[in-house]
Structures are given as structure tokens and as C-alpha cells.
Chain A
Amino acid sequence: MSVGPTPPVRRFAHGSRVPGWDDAVDLTKDPAVVPDPATTPVPDELRAEIEALMERYPDRRSAAIPALHAAQRLHGWCSPLARTQVACVMRLTPAYLTSVASFYDMFELEPRPLHDDVYVCTNISCSLRGADEVLDALTAAAAGDETVHVRSFECLGACDIAPMASVNGEFVGPLEPSDAQRIVDDLRAGRSVLPEKQLRSRACVDPGAHPGGGAPHPDDPRAS
């Protein structure tokens, strides 16, 4: 049996396929303990927001995820500093928040400037309808622009508009590769993105949901 050469696999700079594993600790650093408020400055609004969040739960630690969202909004990513600030307000170790943040796909642990997020769903339903081409087109349209971060994402819960993307949380679809440039242009111009394709204004497809004869889905036989 002939076995061909191993196909190319994406590798990180350190040669492995998994990020981070090859990093040793920096022995010149001090251990990361719970930050002392006296020596860890935290922006006032962030502190206030996290404190308000902690109030909402019987256990303050429940605020970890919302607090990381808040810190990411402020810093553009969950930087070590951002995590340390959250740790300081929440009286936890930064490691606690590193552990939590790295579990969830929406937290950025790689350095990024303040940016727009474009999540392109490439799960089953969207890929059946051409998601991979849309992702390529969007990646190309945003190439070189650090402030537009395009990434593939698992099912975003909008297979009815497949293929789709979430642009800063705004779901748009069905997308064509030709929509890619407009999305990026809309973002750069600070406009509402592809207004006609936004999920928020879409009617339910169930014909029975329109007893009064509301607007049926365009594909519905009754539409014509």
C-alpha cells in the first residue's frame, strides 16, 4: 500500500498544532496572586460595571463572564491587563479569569485593537448553502484591516438565513460572496450593515403564523 506524504497541516510558529503549549513560564515574573486594589488601577467605569454585575448574583463569581465581556469591550481583547483588572475588582486571581476566558469562543486572548467582529457560520446548514465561499470572500475583503476581524464560527442559530454571518452581533443572510465587500464597506463607514438582509426584520415563515394574511415568506407559494 502506498502512503503519500503527510498533507500540510497548519502549524503554529513553534511547530505544534495547538497554541500555547510550548510556552514556559517567565521565571523573572512574580506569581500572579489576587491583585491588591491599592496597586492595581482599574478604570472607574469598568469597576462600576463589574461591581454592579456582581450585585446581580448570590455569588459574585457568577459575574465572571459578563465582566470579561465588559473588559473586552473596553480593551478590544481580554488582555492580561484586562483580566488582571477584572480579577482585582472581583477579588480573584488573574489565572481564574484566564481559565474562564480561554474556555469561551467569544473571548479574544490574542492581541487585537478595538475592532469589528465578523463571525461567519461554517457549520452544516450554512456550509450546505455556500458558507465556505462567503468566508473566503469576507476574509479577502477584510485582508490587511486589523479593525475588521473575520473568523469562522460554529452554528450561530440562524440556519434559516444560511449562509449567514454575525456582524458585531447583527445577524445577516442569506449571504452571497458578493456581499462581502459591502459588509466591510458598511463597517468602515459606520453604517448599519446590509440592512435588507438583517435577521431582525424577518417575518416568520410558518404560514399559519399569519392568520391575518401578514407578509408571507417570499418563497411561500402564497407570495405570488
Chain B
Amino acid sequence: MPRPERKTIQLTIDGREVQAIEGTMLVDAAKQADVEIPYFCYEPKLGNPVGACRMCLVEIEGIPKLQTSCSTPVKDGMVVHTRTERVRHAQNAVVEFLLVNHPLDCPVCDKGGECPLQDITFGWGLGHSRVIEPKRHFVKPLALSPLVAIDRERCILCYRCVRFSQEISEDYQLIFTERGSHAFVATHDGHPYVAPFSGNIVELCPVGALTAQPYRFRARPWDIEGGAGVCTLCPSQCNVTFTVRDEKVMRVLARDNEGVDDGWLCDKGRFAYQAIHVDERITRPLVRDAGVLRPTSWERALEAAAGLARHRGRVGTIVGGQASNEEGLLLARLSREALGSSDIDSRGMAGSGEAGAPIPADLARVLAAPALQASVPDIEFAHTVLLLGCDPRDDAPILDLRIRKGVRRHGVRLAIATARPTALEANAKLGVRCEPGGEGRLAAALAQAIDGTVDAGAPAEIAELAQLLRDGGEDVVILYGERIGAEGAAALVRIARALRLAERDGAGLICLPAGANGRGLREAGAVPDAGPGHGELDGPAGRGCAEIAEAAATGEITALHLFGTDPVRELPDRALWRRAMRSAALVVAHASVLTEGLAEHATVVFPAESHAEKDGTVVHPDGRLQRLRIAIAHPGEVRPGWAVLAELARRCGLETGVRHAVDAFEQLVAAVPVYEGLTLEEIGGGGVRWPERPQASALAPGEPTTTGGEAPSGDGRAPDAAAASNGALRLGTYRPLWAAPECEISPSLKFLVPRQRLELSPADARRLGIDDGAEVVVAQNGTRLNATAVVRTGVQEGSAFLAQGLAADSANELTEPTIEVSAR
């Protein structure tokens, strides 16, 4: 979709000639010209101005009444006065009115020192008040949710928080109720405001009315420093500022980057910093001694870990999604060059059961072609966005907001093709549901319908979807999850060709990987079937996660190197992984917390860095290289990941040449052709998208050899509806946003950590006699899980969904495509 054109015009503000882009709001144009106009309610990120606070009134020649500069677009030749007597009178008036009912409790207010109301009162108020009427006094603060406290005395009813809830996150839980001076911010009938993005309202509030429970009274603005960083808790990789006091992260704020996050954060990114400073965190090396993991010296731990060298050729390496590119590169070098093994994988697994054989290197390379890469802003301006086998809400939450923005503000048409209903269902123009595990087949059917290999016979909804993609405008952006597997990826290549996505700047693909830095780790070569930069391997391809588990369980692999991951916790088929870890003679792990698998089976555990302590780079799903910087000192005895890996490699006989963090970066740049010439300066604070660099042409996609299996039947449905007939349900899985160890140990997020829920369709619930909220047992091949039933419209009859990545009752325990459900 064409983006708005930018024309520069000229206007006069306070007697000065000022240039501005046409259509800019006056208040912003003034700011650019160093004229400060005070305001409260204006926040362009929240959509159209509301003009509620009246703080920004100015005089415009030719218009009799004062105008709100937040809602007046600049025009050529406009003459504006911001400091006349009339304007000053209006500003004094608004400040006085704002304080009529404000408690003036600044000394005990958490916002003190960083409060726009304080600043504006000082700068534009009269300095005295004529109000002697009694003010409203209320109990305060009150809980709005376990994360946010509300002080309604301080609220100036500026609409920012409710606009966020209603127009940005669209959860529409936070509202104004009552009218006039009785109006207040509330929720429905005392329900808490719990939604994935609720924390943003704290940052938006211009007074101390909304405060974050975890930050309240922890610091004053003069105690703190800000450290720029990147959140690596999910693939969204939002830009953040860590508020640091005494080498501790006290708070996380958004660091607005239009190309990444648009200035928003999810509550995981905002509050899981607490996991950095909890007792559960491992800050010293541990070694298993007589069956028990005990703290030990680095020397002893490194020596023990160097035992990996004795398992040459029989070491499997699993890389967690939060590893940096440099760590990925060092791990790959360690594995291949020192340990003689290509059995290294970072792809995690999106699905379980039948779904998602990992995308093989040839397809991955084709799908990574620079011309095919859509950027995050492209989502907002596309004609059509398709979600294929992913739900951004869980997989990369900030993109969920970006899609909503596109639909709401730019008329993007959203199509959804998934097994499980997504959080964006209500915004979609078209939805196609497939059976769990059927995403690949669905994609194949869609490819046929689009490229016309099969004209007739496609089911109506797939034909309709094909038509929307083909005829709804050229700029199509497809977001897909790794769970579409090899078959889906092959189909996607065909879809991209048929839609000519490579030929349009605003069109393309975005893969939402399972791991936060999934893309960077693949590009660094931490996959079994490709070297750095999607390069060919010298030798044969190694094993992926599933095969490593298999091989470890059967004794073909005898040592495991686990970097920032606990496969028992993270990967499908827990029973297999437990066996694998038990069988392995040596399990070396790098971790922050001892989750089940590590606690029971790790031989050596190195303390891992948090994202606030790391120095390195990561790659956003849209190809943007971003830099992690050290915001706080390493706690306890934690050492940088690159240093630990370099030392371990040395002890295993490989001199990596990495003596500083920057050495690792330089090796990465040298190893990945498309990064050629890149410097940390170029990456800077906002990152740089490699597909936009000229060096991107170094990646020649070539032709895929994988076809994705034989031609499918064409309807995207499972060939045998084994389900339903015998009462069994087809199982689909998903990874909830909150299913993460970081959330479990962050005190304020604990309440969000999910218990297992079985989502099933109303029809199946009726048939099985299961009520919404009932406790049920899910069984499969002798494995039993407990769950709470959630009857959900939109779930297809015959399908059911369970969450992965939970500590208990997790879907990772299950391996078969179908389940039996009974009431408990």
C-alpha cells in the first residue's frame, strides 16, 4: 500500500520561520523548532488526538478561537502564537483546573521528578491556587491488577490509558465509567485489568495515577540511570531501556523503535526483569558431586566441562533461543571444529506430534532470500496480511499490536490460516481453520489454489483465501510459524513465487521462530544442516533436536551441551528427553535457573547471563541486527557467555582467537557473507536490517531440493479424521506467552504462569459431557495430564489444544497426534 507522501511546508511560530512536514500536528512541528507547547492527552502512538486536556491551546492567526495544537495539522503559511496573553491565560486556567481535585501529594508520589503534571504546573501554571473547596479524597492506591496500582485522586482523566486498552491492544478492558467530574478509570464489575500489554499504561500515564507494583517506591529519578538494551525474551526483540540503580535493574521501559516495537512492550518484557535478581538465579558454577549439584570454582567447572572433548563425535549441542549470534557461532565452532560433531540445533520445536518437521536448510535459504524479507512496518501498510500457522500474541506479542494497527488505521486485510483460533480472530477478514498438524497441508492446498496447478476442487474457503491474496493488492505480508514444517515451507516458496512477493518492496515473509534469536542462530550456523550464512557444510548434515534425543537415549550420543535451554522443559517428548539426559555420560549446561531436567541430570552448570548483562548481537525475524549492551554488572560469579565458550573451546583443543566480545562479533561478520563489513557503530541503537544492505546479494537463494512430499489431497484436512469417531480428539499445541521460567521466578508475574487448560469445541464438550471450567484428565498411551477444560467457540470440532512449555502437565509429555479426554 502506498505510504503517505511527505511534503515540506513553511509556517511561522512565535515569529520564527519553521519548516515542517505537511500534516504534522502543530505541537510536533513546534517541538522540532524548539518551541515547547505543553500537553497531556496528546500521544500520536495512540491514534487520532482527542483534544481532551486543552493544555496545548495556541493562537492561530485568522481563527477567532484558540486551537488545540495537538489536533491542528500545520498548513503552509500558518502564523501561530504560543506565548500571547490569551494563550497564557488559557494555560494558567487549564493548570488551575487540573489541580482543582488533584491531591498535590508529590512528596509521596512515585512519579515525583519525572511527572509531566509537575513540570507543566511549574512551567505554565500561575503558581497559586484559589481553590478552597474540599477535594475528593479516596482510598489509595488500589490494585488495578497484580501488576498495576491505581491512585484515582491523582488521575487527570487524560484518556491515555483507556485509549491504549481500547485502540492499541484492543482488549477493551480499561474504561471510563460515570460522567463529568464523577468519571473515573475502571474495569467491568471489579475484574482486574489483566492483558498481555497492560503495563504500557503505566508508562503512558502523565501523572502518578498508574504505577507499576514492582517499581513503586524503589527509586527516585535522581537515583537511577538508563541503559539501552534489547529484550530477548521472545522473537519480537523489543528495544528497551533498563532503569538501573546500584547495578540492579529496577524497571524496564520501552525505547521506541518504529522498525521494531512502535514503543510498546508486553508485560513479560516489562516485568520479567525481576528474574535477574531473585534467589533462584544461578550465579556460581555448579558441578554434580556424588549425585548432588554443588557450587564450585570456575576452574573445576571448566575442567569438568572440558570432558566434552573425550566424547568427540558423540556430542549433541542444543542452543536456546536467547543465545546471541556470537554465542551461536562459538557453539557451532566448538561443536564442529573441536568436538567433531554437526549435531547442533537451535530451532527448538514449534509443534509436537505430527506437526512441524523442521524446515530444512535448502528451503530455509530460499525463504531467507533478501527480496522476500518483509519488514515490521510492512505489516502495517500491506494490502493483506496472512497469518500462517502462528499466533503473534503468543509467538511474538508486539507484532500482534502492529497487525491491529494496520487493520485499524490503514485498512489492512487480515487473513488467518491456523489450527488454533488466534487472538486476532475478531480483526480478520477471512479465517481458515485446519486440523492441528495440518498447517503444512493447508499451505500446500493454498499454493495449489494460488498458482493454479489445481483449478477446481479446492474447498471454498481456501479458494476464497487464495483470491484475497491474489487479487487483494500486491503488498502481501505472510507471517508464518516454524510449525508449518518442511511441507508448509515448500508450499510457501510456491506461494511467494505465485504472488511475486520478491518483486515488491512492501511485500514479503516473516518467520516467527520458536526461539527469540532463532533467526540469528540459524544465520550463525547453529543448525545441523547449514553453516554460517546458510552456507554449505563441509561434511554431511548433523542431527536435529529430535534425533539428538533419540541418539542420546540409545547411547549413540554420549554427551550433551545445553546452552540456555533445558530440553526436558522446552522440547517435545519429555519422556524421551529424560531418558536421553539420563543416558548421557556428560551433560554440560549454561543456565540461569535449575529447571527439572537440569536439576536432575546436568553434570556441570555454568551460570548464564541475563539480557541486561550481555554484550552481543541478535537478529530480529525481519533481518534486523540489534545490539545487546551491558546495562548492569554481572552478578555473583557470572561470566560473559562468549568468554566461557571461548575458554571451554580452548580446553577442548580449539583456539578460537576470541579474547574480547568484539572478537566474536568480528568473526561472525567474517563468517556470514551478508553481514560483510558490518560494524557495531552501524548497528547502533536502532539496529540495521541486513536484507536492506547491498551485501545482502551475497545470499543467492538457489532452487530448493525439498518438495515437501507428494502432492496433497488438496483440502488441508487430515487424511484420516481418526478423531471424533472413537471419541479421541486431535491434539494441537501452542506455547503461551507466559510459559517461561523467567515468569515463574519473577514474583510479580507468577500469577500469570499458566496451569494446563484443555481448549475444546462446544460440540465436543457437549458430546463428552464436559463443562467449561471442569477438571479433566487427558490421556495418551498411558501418559496422563490434568487440565481445566475451556470450551471455546472457534475451536474446530474434533480438535483440542494444550499448552507446551509448562513445568507440570505440559503438552511436551505427549507424543501422539490424538488424545482421550475424561472428566476428573
Q: Give CA–CA (A33, B762) in the complex, Å.
A: 18
Minimum CB distance partner of B175 in chain A? A99
Please give, as numbers and ranges, the residues of chain B lying within 8 Å of A94 by CB-CB distance.
188-189, 191
**Which of B132-140, B516-524, B807-815 contacts the other chain?**
B132-140
Interface string of B292-320 (1 = CB under 8 A from A): 00000000000000000000000000000
Of A26, A34, A39, A103, which is within 8 A of B191 by CB?
A26
Minimum CB distance partner of A91 in chain B? B426
Q: Give CA–CA (A30, B757) in the complex, Å.
A: 14
Tell me whether B580 is interfacial, beta carbon within 8 Å: no
A96 B192 Cβ-Cβ under 8 A: no
B138 A32 Cβ-Cβ under 8 A: no
Interface string of A70-107 (1 = CB under 8 A from B): 00000000001001000000011111111100110000
Please give, as numbers and ranges, the residues of chain B lying within 8 Å of A34 by CB-CB distance.
426
Please give, as numbers and ranges, the residues of chain A lying within 8 Å of B194 by CB-CB distance.
30-31
B177 A20 Cβ-Cβ under 8 A: yes
A99 B762 Cβ-Cβ under 8 A: no
Interface string of A106-130 (1 = CB under 8 A from B): 0000000000000000000000000
**Which of B141-149, B468-476, B504-512, B633-641 contacts the other chain?**
B141-149
B172 A93 Cβ-Cβ under 8 A: yes
**Which of B179-187, B404-412, B439-447, B454-462 contacts the other chain?**
B179-187
A95 B791 Cβ-Cβ under 8 A: no
Minimum CB distance partner of A23 in chain B? B190
Of A18, A38, A95, which is within 8 A of B136 by CB?
A18
A22-B175 contact, Cβ under 8 Å, with A27-B192, A31-B192: no
Give the interface size class of chain B: 35 or more
B142 A32 Cβ-Cβ under 8 A: no
Please give, as numbers and ranges, the residues of chain A lying within 8 Å of B181 by CB-CB distance.
18
Minimum CB distance partner of A31 in chain B? B194
Interface string of A1-31 (1 = CB under 8 A from B): 0000010010000111111111111110111
Of A6, A20, A30, which is within 8 A of B178 by CB?
A20
A95 B426 Cβ-Cβ under 8 A: no
Interface string of B148-192 (1 = CB under 8 A from A): 000010000000000000000001111111110110101111111
B139 A93 Cβ-Cβ under 8 A: no
B192 A26 Cβ-Cβ under 8 A: yes
Minimum CB distance partner of B792 in chain A? A36
Of B136, B172, B174, which is within 8 A of A16 by CB?
B136
Tell me whether B451 is interfacial, beta carbon within 8 Å: no
Q: Give CA–CA (A84, B337) in the complex, Å.
A: 63
Please give, as numbers and ranges, the residues of chain A lying within 8 Å of B145 by CB-CB distance.
25, 27
Minimum CB distance partner of B762 in chain A? A38
Q: Which of B177, B191, B195 lies at the interface centre, i.e. has the most chain A CB atoms within 10 A of its CB?
A: B191
Q: Give CA–CA (A17, B184) in the complex, Å.
A: 13
Instruction: Tell me the minimal C-beta distance from A56 to chain B in angstroms.
Output: 21
Q: Give CA–CA (A26, B190) in the complex, Å.
A: 5
Instruction: Tell me the minimal C-beta distance from A178 to chain B in angstroms.
Output: 35
Instruction: Tell me the minimal C-beta distance from B187 to chain A in angstroms.
Output: 6
Instruction: Tell me the minimal C-beta distance from B397 to chain A in angstroms.
Output: 16
B179 A98 Cβ-Cβ under 8 A: no
Q: Which of A14, A27, A30 lies at the interface centre, i.e. has the most chain B CB atoms within 10 A of its CB?
A: A27
Q: Give CA–CA (A95, B188) in the complex, Å.
A: 4
Minimum CB distance partner of B152 in chain A? A21
Of A21, A25, A33, A96, which is within 8 A of B184 by CB?
A21
A32 B173 Cβ-Cβ under 8 A: yes
Tell me whether A66 is interfacial, beta carbon within 8 Å: no
Please give, as numbers and ranges, the residues of chain A lying within 8 Å of B765 by CB-CB distance.
38
Tell me whether B775 is interfacial, beta carbon within 8 Å: no
Give the interface size class of chain A: 35 or more
A96-B136 contact, Cβ under 8 Å, with A31-B193, A32-B187, A34-B426: no
Of B172, B174, B186, B792, which is within 8 A of A20 by CB?
B186
Instruction: Tell me the minimal C-beta distance from A93 to chain B in angstroms.
Output: 4
Q: Give CA–CA (A35, B76) in the complex, Å.
A: 49
Tell me whether B793 is interfacial, beta carbon within 8 Å: yes
Tell me whether A195 is interfacial, beta carbon within 8 Å: no
Instruction: Tell me the minimal C-beta distance from A3 to chain B in angstroms.
Output: 10
A29-B190 contact, Cβ under 8 Å, with A23-B142, A39-B791: yes
A22-B172 contact, Cβ under 8 Å, with A32-B187, A83-B188: no
A31 B191 Cβ-Cβ under 8 A: yes
A98-B189 contact, Cβ under 8 Å, with A21-B138, A22-B138: yes
Tell me whether A207 is interfacial, beta carbon within 8 Å: no
Please give, as numbers and ranges, the residues of chain B lying within 8 Å of A102 by CB-CB distance.
177-179
B139 A22 Cβ-Cβ under 8 A: yes
Please give, as numbers and ranges, the residues of chain B lying within 8 Å of A103 by CB-CB distance.
177-179
Please give, as numbers and ranges, the residues of chain B lying within 8 Å of A80 by CB-CB distance.
188-189
B173 A93 Cβ-Cβ under 8 A: yes
A22 B191 Cβ-Cβ under 8 A: no
A27 B143 Cβ-Cβ under 8 A: yes
Instruction: Tell me the minimal C-beta distance from B773 to chain A in angstroms.
Output: 8
A18-B182 contact, Cβ under 8 Å, with A31-B173, A31-B192, A33-B171: yes
Please give, as numbers and ranges, the residues of chain B lying within 8 Å of A21 by CB-CB distance.
136, 138, 152, 184
Please give, as numbers and ranges, the residues of chain B lying within 8 Å of A32 by CB-CB distance.
173, 187-189, 191
Please give, as numbers and ranges, the residues of chain A lying within 8 Å of B187 by CB-CB distance.
25, 31-32, 95
B179 A38 Cβ-Cβ under 8 A: no
A98-B175 contact, Cβ under 8 Å, with A36-B791, A38-B762, A38-B772: yes
Q: Give CA–CA (A103, B190) in the complex, Å.
A: 18
A98-B791 contact, Cβ under 8 Å, with A22-B142, A92-B172: no
Interface string of A26-56 (1 = CB under 8 A from B): 1101111110111100000000000000000
Minimum CB distance partner of A81 in chain B? B189
Please give, as numbers and ranges, the residues of chain A lying within 8 Å of B191 by CB-CB distance.
25-26, 29-32, 94-95
Q: Which of A39, A97, A99 lies at the interface centre, i.e. has the most chain B CB atoms within 10 A of its CB?
A: A99
Q: Which of A20, A24, A30 lies at the interface centre, i.e. has the most chain B CB atoms within 10 A of its CB?
A: A24
A16 B142 Cβ-Cβ under 8 A: no
Q: Give CA–CA (A29, B146) in the complex, Å.
A: 11
28 contacts between A and B (CB under 8 A): A14-B139, A16-B136, A18-B181, A19-B178, A19-B182, A20-B177, A20-B184, A20-B186, A21-B136, A21-B152, A22-B142, A23-B142, A23-B186, A25-B143, A29-B190, A31-B171, A31-B192, A31-B195, A32-B173, A38-B792, A38-B793, A80-B188, A83-B189, A93-B188, A95-B174, A95-B187, A103-B178, A103-B179
Q: A19-B178, A39-B791, A102-B177 are in contact. List 12 more A-B contacts (CB 8 A).
A: A16-B137, A22-B138, A24-B143, A24-B190, A27-B146, A31-B173, A31-B192, A36-B792, A95-B173, A96-B172, A98-B189, A102-B179
**Which 4 interchain pairs have the tightest Cβ spacing?**
A99-B175, A24-B142, A38-B762, A95-B188
